Amino acid sequence: MKYLPKDFETFDVADGRAKDVLRGLTNEGHQVPLCTPKNCCQLEHCHKCLRRLRRSLVSEAKSLGFHKKDWVSVCLTPNGPPIPIGELGERLNLAREVKKHARRLQRHISDALIVGGLDIALLIVDGEIVGWQPHLHLMLHGISKEESLKALRPAYPRSEFASKPIRHATVDRATFFSALSYTYKSVFFPRGDRRSLPKGKLRGSLPRKYETELRAFLARWPIGSRLMLRNARNYPARDRAKLQVRLIHPFNDCFHKPSSRLMNRKSHKRKNAMRKRVNGGRRTK
């Protein structure tokens, strides 16, 4: 895919990360299924399945023409306390968490098209690890940056653990796909201000102990469980990592997927052009 971000992970990178995760989980006594090309595990902890879902998200956005419109990227942090270390599996239910934020967004910005996902970060305050902090990375269309900030302030107020609960920026069309793929992460990081995080660890990966806890929790959930959609629906195929996004009125009139007839016509033209190049311009039967 030529429109994938330049820093998008390759299959080899995802495969190596998946092996490291599997090794770490196995060493800690967690049983997780193997992920093979013929039998994908389709679980949230797997780097290979996450890569396929993120590629599918970019592909769906490209086919719908999302990159041709104006978008706002938003990071939303709830004001609740973080989840204590070691209690992620008991305290957090992904399905309920996603529904809770979906209802909140419905009440405050119901007219916006929303695409994004739930992220889980390791919160560090004053150099000390506090716990796990679920938060959202979203892309908004149909609402300005100023309007979204005003509408979301009551839903995501400041708190002790969320000094800046709303971070937003206008998305440049040239970097749209990079911003979109960032909303559904496959790699997780510590989180905190520059004074709180250890020196040199602002964007460092999680220490293995915490990485294992998070991946073991995610291994209980099917791929796509962190997906956030508003005024759009995903109709999952047999392969849950393959998204099939359908927009709801009025956005279905703003974005159009190429029809199957048009796609077949383009494919036929490409095949004919290839035959002509192979045969030196001679007409083929």
For residue 149, which phi and psi values (nearest 5 degrees)?
A: -65, -45
Per-residue pLDDT band at 200 (split at 50, 70, 90): very low
Question: Is residue 63 in a domain?
Answer: yes
Question: Is residue 217 in a domain?
Answer: yes
> Nearest Cα to 15, choosing from 1, 36, 39?
36
282 and 177 within one domain: no
Query: What is the rounded CA–CA span in Å between residue 197 and residue 204?
Result: 10
Question: Residue 253: pLDDT above 70?
Answer: yes
Question: Is residue 6 in a domain?
Answer: no
274 and 178 within one domain: no
201 and 129 within one domain: yes
Total structural domains within the chain: 2
**What are 141-179's pLDDT values in tens digits?**
999 999 999 999 999 999 988 889 999 999 998 999 999
265 and 158 within one domain: no
Q: Give CA torsion, residues 84, 89, 92, 98, to 10 deg.
A: 140
178 and 285 within one domain: no
Query: What is the rounded CA–CA span in Å between residue 135 and residue 267?
Result: 41
Mean pLDDT of the chain: 88
> Nearest Cα to 50, choosing from 89, 18, 75?
18
106 and 18 within one domain: yes
Domain of 264? 258-285
**What are 16-40's pLDDT values in tens digits?**
999 999 999 999 999 999 999 999 9
**What are 45-68's pLDDT values in tens digits?**
999 999 999 999 999 999 999 999
278 and 159 within one domain: no
282 and 192 within one domain: no
Question: Is residue 239 in a domain?
Answer: yes
**What are 65-111's pLDDT values in tens digits?**
999 999 999 999 999 999 999 999 999 999 999 999 999 999 999 99
264 and 250 within one domain: no
Per-residue pLDDT band at 252 (split at 50, 70, 90): confident
18 and 102 within one domain: yes
pLDDT at 193: 59
